[in-house]
Amino acid sequence: MPDYGHPLVFGTFITPVNSPAHAAVQRARLSEQLGYDLVTFQDHPYQPSFHDTWTLLSWVAASTERIHVAANVHNLPLRQPAVLARSAASLDLLSGGRVDLGLGAGGFWDAIEAMGGRRLTPGQGVQALGEAIDIMRGIWDAAERSPLRVAGEFYAVEGAKRGPAPAHDIPIWLGAYKPRMLALTGAKADGWLPSLGYMKPGDLARGNAAIDSAAVDAGRDPREIRRLLNIGELPAAQLVDLALEEGIGTFILASDDPTTLQRFAEDVMPEVRSLVAAERAARGTGTARARGAAALARRRDGIDYDSVPESLAARAVEPGDAQFSRVRSNYLRGGNPGIVLRPGSVEEVVDAVAFARAHPGVALGVRSGGHGISGRSTNDGGIVIDLGALDSIEVVDEVARRVRVGAGARWVDVAAALAPYGWALSSGDYGGVGVGGLATAGGVGWLAREHGLTIDHVRSVQVVLADGSVVTADADTDPDLFWAMRGAGGNMGIATSFEFEVDEVGEVGFAQLGFDASDTADFLVGWAAAVETSPREVTSFLMMGPRTPGRTTVAQVMAVVDSADPDRIIELLQPFAQVAPLVQQSVELAPYAQVMANNVRDEPHHGQGEPVGRSALVDHITPEFAAALTALADSGEVYFLSIRSVGGAVADVPSDATAYAGRSANFAVSVLGTRRAALDTLWDALSEHFSGMYLSFDTDPRPERVADAFPPATLARLRQIKERVDPGNLFRDNFNVVLQPVE
Ligand X SMILES: Cc1cc2nc3c(=O)[nH]c(=O)nc-3n(C[C@H](O)[C@H](O)[C@H](O)COP(=O)(O)OP(=O)(O)OC[C@H]3O[C@@H](n4cnc5c(N)ncnc54)[C@H](O)[C@@H]3O)c2cc1C
Which positions lie near ligand X, rule CB under 6 A? 330-331, 365-373, 376-377, 387, 407, 428-430, 433-434, 436-438, 440-445, 489-490, 494-495, 644, 696, 734
For the stretch 690-718, what's the b/e string if a residue is b when 16 or more beta carbons lie within 10 angstroms of its beta carbon? bbbbbbbbbbbbeeebbebbbeeebbebb
In whole angstroms, the minimum distance from the beta carbon of 640 to ligand X comes to 11
Query: Which of residues 228 and 425 has its CB atom nearest to ligand X in the complex?
Result: 425
In whole angstroms, the minimum distance from the beta carbon of 119 to ligand X comes to 54
In whole angstroms, the minimum distance from the beta carbon of 407 to ligand X comes to 4
Query: Which of residues 77 and 443 has its CB atom nearest to ligand X in the complex?
Result: 443
> What string of DSSP letters covers 32-97?
HHHT-SEEEE---TT-TTB--HHHHHHHHHHH-SS-EEEESSEEGGGS-HHHHHHHHHHHHHHHTS
Query: Which of residues 405 and 521 has its CB atom nearest to ligand X in the complex?
Result: 405
Residue nearest to ligand X (CB): 437
Query: Which of residues 64 and 539 has its CB atom nearest to ligand X in the complex?
Result: 539
Number of residues assigned to the chain: 743
C-alpha atoms less than 13 angstroms from C-alpha of 145 in its C-beta half-sphere: 1
The Cα 567–Cα 86 span in angstroms is: 53
Query: Which of residues 261 and 393 has its CB atom nearest to ligand X in the complex?
Result: 393
The Cα 147–Cα 156 span in angstroms is: 13
> What string of DSSP letters covers 324-351?
HHHHS--SS---B-SEEE--SSHHHHHH
> What string of DSSP letters covers 561-590?
E--S-HHHHHHHHHHHHTSS-EEEEEEEEE
Angle at which helices 236-246 and 203-217 pack, to 10 degrees?
30
| Helix residue spans in 346-478 (DSSP H) | 346-357, 411-418, 435-439, 448-451
Phi (first) and psi of residue 164, to 5 degrees? -75, 155
Q: Please say whether the beta carbons of 330 and 609 come within 8 A.
A: no
- CB atoms inside a 10 Å sphere around CB 233: 14
In whole angstroms, the minimum distance from the beta carbon of 740 to ligand X comes to 15
In whole angstroms, the minimum distance from the beta carbon of 574 to ligand X comes to 25
Query: Which of residues 445 and 591 has its CB atom nearest to ligand X in the complex?
Result: 445
The Cα 405–Cα 392 span in angstroms is: 6
In whole angstroms, the minimum distance from the beta carbon of 490 to ligand X comes to 3
In whole angstroms, the minimum distance from the beta carbon of 422 to ligand X comes to 23
What is residue 23's three-state secondary structure? helix
Query: Which of residues 264 and 527 has its CB atom nearest to ligand X in the complex?
Result: 527
The Cα 421–Cα 264 span in angstroms is: 46
Query: Which of residues 172 and 444 has its CB atom nearest to ligand X in the complex?
Result: 444
The Cα 393–Cα 506 span in angstroms is: 20
Query: Which of residues 248 and 384 has its CB atom nearest to ligand X in the complex?
Result: 384
Query: Which of residues 541 and 576 has its CB atom nearest to ligand X in the complex?
Result: 541
Query: Which of residues 49 and 477 has its CB atom nearest to ligand X in the complex?
Result: 477
Q: Please say whether the beta carbons of 573 and 509 come within 8 A.
A: yes
In whole angstroms, the minimum distance from the beta carbon of 546 to ligand X comes to 18
Query: Which of residues 228 and 447 has its CB atom nearest to ligand X in the complex?
Result: 447
The Cα 570–Cα 585 span in angstroms is: 12
Is the N-terminal amide bond of 20 cis, ω within 30° of 0? yes
Query: Which of residues 84 and 473 has its CB atom nearest to ligand X in the complex?
Result: 473
In whole angstroms, the minimum distance from the beta carbon of 78 to ligand X comes to 45
- CB atoms inside a 10 Å sphere around CB 256: 14
The Cα 689–Cα 618 span in angstroms is: 7
In whole angstroms, the minimum distance from the beta carbon of 343 to ligand X comes to 11
The Cα 537–Cα 571 span in angstroms is: 12
In whole angstroms, the minimum distance from the beta carbon of 694 to ligand X comes to 7
